Structures are given as structure tokens and as C-alpha cells.
Amino acid sequence: MGNGAIPQMGNQEVLVGTVISEFDVKADERKRFTIRQAAFEHYHVMVFDDGHLELHPRLMVDATISRRALAGMDQAVANYCEGRVGEGLDVAALEALADRDD
């Protein structure tokens, strides 16, 4: 199996990329290990019953939304549920506008 192959593990696909780094690690006394030259600050880790680990990079964003924004979203959903909605959007007109050269 070469780089880029998609092997199967159980009923899950495992995507394989190009290896850019390879090294051995030893867990410290608190069962931690270090990822050298990690490209991301946060990872989602899956630990499997056979002992192997799978790490997926995570880009974290600030989830803070103001009370005013939340209230606006709540009102928009309430309006939608009650059938108070605006006119439909003419996508063709927007596409024509986007294609203009001026």
C-alpha cells in the first residue's frame, strides 16, 4: 500500500497522506508523549482497543456569540417557523451580477 491509499479499518475508511516525519516516542511518568514539529496546536485523538492512536488536526475558533446575535437568530427562527419569511432570492440575477466586468 503506497502513500495516498485508502485502507479499511473495520467499517471505517482511513485516509493516508504523505509521511513528512517519523519518530519513536516513550510515554513519560504521566503517560504523555510529545509530537515533534506539530503542525497544529489542537488535535482530536482516537484511541483504539488494539493500542493504536489516530490524531486529526483541529482548528479551534472562538465560540463566543453575543446575546444580541443569539436573540437575533432566535427571532429569525421563530419568524421562519411562523411563516414570516421574505421574498425568494433570484440566484440567476446574482450570478449575472457577479459575471459583470464593470
Q: Distance (Å, rounded) from C-alpha 68 to C-alpha 41?
A: 31
- Cα 64 to Cα 2, 3, 47, 68: the distances in Å are 43, 40, 30, 12
Per residue in 37-90, pLDDT (tens digit) is 888 899 999 999 998 888 999 988 777 888 899 999 999 999 999 999 988 888
Per residue in 8-47, pLDDT (tens digit) is 555 555 666 788 888 898 999 998 988 888 888 999 999 9
Nearest to 47 by CA among 36, 33, 61: 33
Q: Please state the pTM of the whole predicted model.
A: 0.43
